[in-house]
Amino acid sequence: MSQKIRLLYMEGVSPLRSQTVYHAVAYAMKENSPNTIIMVSPKDPYVCIGYHQDLQKEVDLEYLQTRGLTVLRREVGGGAVYLDNGQLFTQWIFHKRDLPSSLEERFTLYIDPLIKTYHELGINAVHRPVNDVLVNGKKIGGTGAAQIGIAEVVVGSLMYTFDKKTMSKVLKVPSEKMRDKVFESLEAYMTTMTQELGYTPDRVSVKDLYMRKVEETLGAEVYEGEWTDEEEAMAREVDERFLSDEWLYQKGRLQQLGVKIHQDVHIVESAFKAPGGLIRVIARLREGRIDDVSISGDFTLFPSFALGALEQSLRGTRASAELLKAKIEEAYYRLSIQSPGVTPGDFTTAIINAVNPAQPA
């Protein structure tokens, strides 16, 4: 990579802007725009859900309201997460030509300077494919990817601290016993820089260290640049969209239709855990065929628009594993879909798990 890379260092912005900033840079990107890395942190805590998730299934909206926590949906896959100033987000907005074509290789490239930064600080971090960073078996970060405009986007974070207790409370779970188990699991299997080192490293020093490691990995100079007027205007447009109920609740539409159900129409749902993430399915069956289907979850699927096309392609298909898998495989081929750790067979299983209980006898 011969061209220089612009850095936008933006500590302490609003929760909304910490998410819309990289969307805005991506949507404003032109052929002659520089590759950009944004390092940004929010001044206030909030909750962010993945592009393919169903808000009402994933987070405890009543708890968020009592705490006054904002919830946002991003255009990148992955799961619901509680975010605050303890994380410094590292967001790459690059031209397609400057990143590997496969998501697995892209995650490896993106994670390399994160690992090198942690090593320099004395933290023994490793990459666990597809897209996690671990320290002695504990997660210290994950990553996500999306195509936004003409840009390829990869995002993750440097983890100074993490409020595991609040994270366990924002997730929607069936019982308090389950919530306790979530907290125990976060305690056992997540870590941070502060936890590993016994102190919190200086943030500017970490920023400078990470930039040096990026330069080593990519072989390109990084310079601190400016946020353009065009990007600010685009950010305001994205702000408005992200604050709309239509955007936030989009994956819950099927569930909210209030369809009249009779002996030939069933609405069914299931969840299936694939290696690459949880797949949730809500389907409406009519006379044994898929009348409508909504697929959500914390998986990564690329390009992001392909999920809607995949859902559309399944409508009218008889609800058999063989026919559904053939339809999904055809969509994968036609749209060049990549979904690390999640296969057409996994989507098929998730749908069939939902369909079977409602199959006509």
Residue 359 has pLDDT above 60, yes or no: no
Strand, helix or coil for residue 237: helix
Sequence ranges of the chain with CATH classification 3.30.930.10: 5-248
Dihedral sign from CA coordinates of 331, 252, 41, 150? positive
Q: What are phi and psi of 90, to 5 degrees?
A: -115, 110
Q: Architecture of 5-248 per CATH?
A: 2-Layer Sandwich (3.30)
Grade residue 169 by pLDDT with cuts at 50, 70 and 90: very high
User: Which string of b and e fits 205-237 if b means at least 16 CB within 10 Å?
Assistant: ebbebbbebbeebbeeebeeeebeeebeebbee
Which residues have C-beta within 8 Å of that of residue 163, sequence separation ≥ 6? Answer: 45, 82, 84, 86
Q: C-alpha distances in angstroms, 296 versus 52, 128, 155, 206, 225?
A: 5, 24, 20, 35, 37
Grade residue 251 by pLDDT with cuts at 50, 70 and 90: low
How many helices (H) does the chain have, and how many strands (E)?
13, 15
Strand, helix or coil for residue 256: helix
pLDDT in tens, 260-307: 345 567 778 888 999 999 999 988 888 889 988 889 999 999 888 899
Strand, helix or coil for residue 160: coil
Which residues have C-beta within 8 Å of that of residue 235, sequence separation ≥ 6? Answer: 17, 20, 21, 23, 24
Helix axes 321-335, 306-314, angle to 10 degrees: 150
Rounded to two decimals, the pTM is 0.81
pLDDT in tens, 197-226: 999 999 999 999 999 999 999 999 999 999
Q: CATH: 3.40.50.2300, 3.30.390.50, 3.40.50.880, 1.10.268.10. Which one for 253-358?
A: 3.30.390.50
Sequence ranges of the chain with CATH classification 3.30.390.50: 253-358
pLDDT computed for residue 177 by the predictor: 86
pLDDT in tens, 124-133: 999 998 889 9
Which tokens go with 202?
A: 């200086």
